[in-house]
Structure 1
Amino acid sequence: MLSLQTAIAFFGVSLLLGVTPGPDNIFVLVQSATQGKRAGMLVVLGLCTGLVVHTSAVALGLAAVFAASETAFVVLKMVGAGYLAYLAWGAFRAPVTEGSDASAPLLRPLQLYRRGIVMNLTNPKVVFFFLAFLPQFVDARRGSVVLQLAELGAIFILATLVTFGAISYFAASLGQRLRGSARAQQWMNRAAGAVFAALALRLAVAQR
C-alpha cells in the first residue's frame, strides 16, 4: 500500500500533468467549447475509463508486452490518427444552428463517452507514459506492486477528473457565449477540425 506522503506527492504531480497542454486535455477543451459542459464531462469520463484500462495493463504486465511490439505500436497509432481525422472531417462539416438549438449537444451521451474512450485507448503514448511514470512511485517493500500500481492509477484518474473537469467548465462557459452566433459557431467548428487534424498528424508521425 502507498504511503500517504507518496500518494500526496503523486497527486500533486498528476495535477500538474493534467494542466500541461497535451492531446487529451486539448480534446476536452475543444469538445466542451463546441458542445457544452455536459458533453465535455462525458468525454472526460470516457478518457478516465481508458485510463482504467491502461492502469490495469501496466499492473498486469500487458503494457510491457505491447511496448515491445513495433507492429502493435504502428497499428494502434494509425487507428488513432484515422479516428482523429474522421473527427476533423465531421467538425469541418458540422451544421450551424441558431436560437435555442445553438446550445444543444450535437452528439448523444454514449457517443461522447465513447469518443473519450477511443481517444485515450488509441494513443500508444499513454502506454509508454504509464510504463515510465507509475513505477517510479512504487516501493516493493510496502507490499503488492500490483496493488500499488492500481492505487497510483486511481489517484491519477482522480487528478484527471479535477483538472479536465475544470478545463471543461471554463471552455464550455466561453463556448456558450460564442454558440449564440452562427458565425462564431462556424469558426469554432473550423478551429475544432483544425485541432483534430493537427492531433491526427502528430499521432501519425509519432515515434516510440
Structure 2
Amino acid sequence: MSFDYLVTALVVILLPGTGVLYTLALGLSQGWRASAFAAFGCTLGILPHLAAAIAGLAALLHASAIAFQALTYLGAAYLLYMAWSVWRDGSALQLSGQRQRLRPARIILKGVLLNVLNPKLSLFFLAFLPQFIPPATARPIAAMNELALWFMALTFLVFLGYGVCASAVRTQVARRPSVLLWLRRGFALAFASLGLKLAFSRL
C-alpha cells in the first residue's frame, strides 16, 4: 500500500458527486445516523464496479457502446428521478419534528443505486487501480483487491464525515426556512445536472 495511492484516492473521494450530495442531504434532513446509512449504501454501490474492473469486465463494457450507453441512460434517468423527487417532495429535506423518518434499508438501497447505475465508475477503476500495482507483483489480483478495500474504507469514512458535518448544522438550517428551501432546490438541481452530464457523456 503506497502513500501516493492513499492521497490520490482521498482526493478522488473528496470531489463532490452524487454520493456526497445524497449523504449531505440525509445528514441535513435526518441526522448523522441516516447519513451513516447513506454513506454505507454509497460505499456498497461501488463494489460491483470494483469487481468489474478487477475481473476485466469493464474493458468489455467499454468495448460495447450499446451496453455502455444503456447503463448510462439508466443511471441518468435515476438521477433525474432523484432530482424530481427532491424538488417535489418537501419532506425530503424537512427538519421539523414531524418529519417522516426514512427506513435504513431504503436509505441504503438508494445509495447503492446511485453508484451502481453510474457506468463511468467501472471505467475509472479499470484505469485507476492498475497504476498502483508494481509490474513485478507476484499476485496482481490480490494487490488490486487490497487497493479496492482501502478505497471503499476511505469512501465510507469521508462520506460519513460529510454527513456528520451536515447534521451538525441542522439546527441552524431549521431556523431559516428560506435557507432550507434553497438547499432543497440546490440539491435537486445538482442531481439534475449530474444526470444530464451522465446522459450526454461519451466513451
After TM superposition, the score normalised by the length of structure 2 is: 0.88
Following the alignment from structure 2 to structure 1, what is the Cα–Cα distance between the partners of residues 176 and 106?
Answer: 25
Q: Secondary structure at the match of 1:142?
A: coil
Residue number in structure 2 paired with 1:100: 97
Quick one: percent identity of the two aligned structures? 30
Moved more, 166-175 or 91-100: 91-100
Following the alignment from structure 2 to structure 1, what is the Cα–Cα distance between the partners of residues 20 and 201?
Answer: 18
| Residue correspondence of structure 1 range 157-176 to structure 2 within 5 A | 157-176=152-171
Following the alignment from structure 1 to structure 2, what is the Cα–Cα distance between the partners of residues 18 and 60?
Answer: 22
How far 1:187 moved relative to its partner?
3.0
Residue deviations 1:69-96 (CA, integer Å, cap 9, x gap)? 1111111111111111111111112135
Moved more, 151-160 or 168-177: 168-177
2:73 to 78, 89, 106: 78
| Residue correspondence of structure 1 range 95-174 to structure 2 within 5 A | 95-96=90-91, 97=94, 99-102=96-99, 105=101, 107-174=102-169
1:203 and 2:190 equivalent? Answer: no
1:33 to 5, 19, 28: 28
Moved more, 162-171 or 113-122: 162-171
Following the alignment from structure 2 to structure 1, what is the Cα–Cα distance between the partners of residues 58 and 146?
Answer: 17
Q: Would the aligned equivalents of 2:28 and 2:95 in 1 still touch at CA under 8 Å?
A: no
Following the alignment from structure 2 to structure 1, what is the Cα–Cα distance between the partners of residues 6 and 107?
Answer: 27
Residue deviations 1:138-197 (CA, integer Å, cap 9, x gap)? 124222221111111001111112221111111222234313554443333222211211
RMSD of aligned Cα (Å): 2.0
Q: Would the aligned equivalents of 2:30 and 2:95 in 1 still touch at CA under 8 Å?
A: no
How far 1:36 moved relative to its partner?
2.6
Residue number in structure 1 paired with 2:53: 58
Going from structure 1 to structure 2, the CA distance change for 1:99 and 1:25 (only over 3 Å counts) comes to closer
Following the alignment from structure 1 to structure 2, what is the Cα–Cα distance between the partners of residues 66 and 98?
Answer: 42
Moved more, 193-202 or 169-178: 169-178
Counterpart residue type for residue 97 of structure 2 = S
Following the alignment from structure 2 to structure 1, what is the Cα–Cα distance between the partners of residues 155 and 95?
Answer: 33
| Equivalent residues, number | 201
Going from structure 1 to structure 2, the CA distance change for 1:178 and 1:54 (only over 3 Å counts) comes to same
Following the alignment from structure 1 to structure 2, what is the Cα–Cα distance between the partners of residues 197 and 178?
Answer: 23
Q: Which runs of 5+ in 2 are unaligned?
A: none
After TM superposition, the score normalised by the length of structure 1 is: 0.86
How far 1:39 moved relative to its partner?
2.1
Q: Would the aligned equivalents of 1:28 and 1:44 in 2 still touch at CA under 8 Å?
A: yes
